[in-house]
Amino acid sequence: MVIASKFRNGQFRRDGARDRTGEGAFWGVSALAFAASATVTIFWCGSMPAMGVTMPSGWTMSRAWMRMPGQTWPAAAASFVGMWLVMMVAMMLPSLVPMLRRYRSAVDKRGETRLGWLTMLVGAGYFFVWTLFGLAAFAIGVALASSEMQQPALARVVPLASGFVVLVAGTIQFTRWKANRLTCCREAQVHGFALAPGVGTALWHGLGLGLDCALCCAGLMVVLLVIGVMDLRTMAGVTAAVSAERLVPGGQRVARAVGSLVVGEGLLLITRAVGLV
């Protein structure tokens, strides 16, 4: 009787229309965020190659790890983190969107009506983790760049060391640790007991998703940082690898295939470095 009454009053039709409107808004905002971040990232990538510093050993170090004339270190860090965050939105959003949809579905079943607001909080928590990752990367990059500028002998071995780092990052793709981390990302299901509607729960869920993703992507992010933090081809390759690992059936096989490519790139870098020396 209650169901029939709701149907006659048009509540089911209104709820269905609201759901479709909310789902359409979700996809629209996601597409807009991806398009905007990708556009800005491509612009930055196009401007960075001309801003490198050629070292005595013949390789070029990105100015991403340096201050601009008259710029303070806090300003340089803020600039890098802002650039990094925009990059992460463009790179991670394709694999994040399915997880956000699962979250929306879970809280919607509990009668929550603030889906848009809570979804944004999940995304904020997720990208906050990547912001911390960017701060750590900047600190390490600045320290290494400073050492390389002051010690020519260290600068000469950087290309060879970079090749070995990429080689190790590729081998990580074959490890049990990587398989476990990837399983956490692929099976990031929304459990009712942990996702009662609420601001705190949404933020905590986003932080958890971000931490799992950052750990799973650590090797590929290292490859991006070593080869060139603003190299568009490397960025596109890492984005495709991250998305495929999470979304394509047989993600662990995809991860191993990606590992084979990264190992090959590492060996190529080592060969070139040896020839350069």
The C-alpha atoms of residue 62 and residue 89 are separated, in whole angstroms, by 22
pLDDT at 21: 64
pLDDT at 260: 96
Mean pLDDT of all residues in the chain?
A: 81
pLDDT at 69: 77
pLDDT at 2: 42
Dump pLDDT digits (tens) for 159-201.
Answer: 888 899 999 999 999 999 999 999 888 876 544 445 566 788 8
DSSP state of 68: P
Query: In the chain, where are the structural domains located?
Result: 2-276
pLDDT at 1: 45
Burial label, 266 (beta-carbon count in 10 A; 0-12, 13-18, 19+)? buried
pLDDT at 54: 52
pLDDT at 62: 65
Distances (CA, A) of 10 to 22, 109, 148: 18, 20, 70
pTM of the model as a whole: 0.83
Query: Which residues have a Cβ under 8 Å from the Cβ of 99 and sit 6 or more positions away?
Result: 188, 209
pLDDT profile of the chain (277 residues), mean per 10: 47 50 84 94 72 51 72 87 93 92 78 78 95 92 80 77 93 94 75 61 90 93 86 89 91 94 94 75
pLDDT at 223: 92
61 phi and psi angles, rounded to 5 deg: -100, 135
pLDDT at 154: 72
Dump pLDDT digits (tens) for 50-73.
Answer: 445 555 544 455 667 777 777 888
How far is CA 255 from its chain centroid?
16
pLDDT at 193: 45
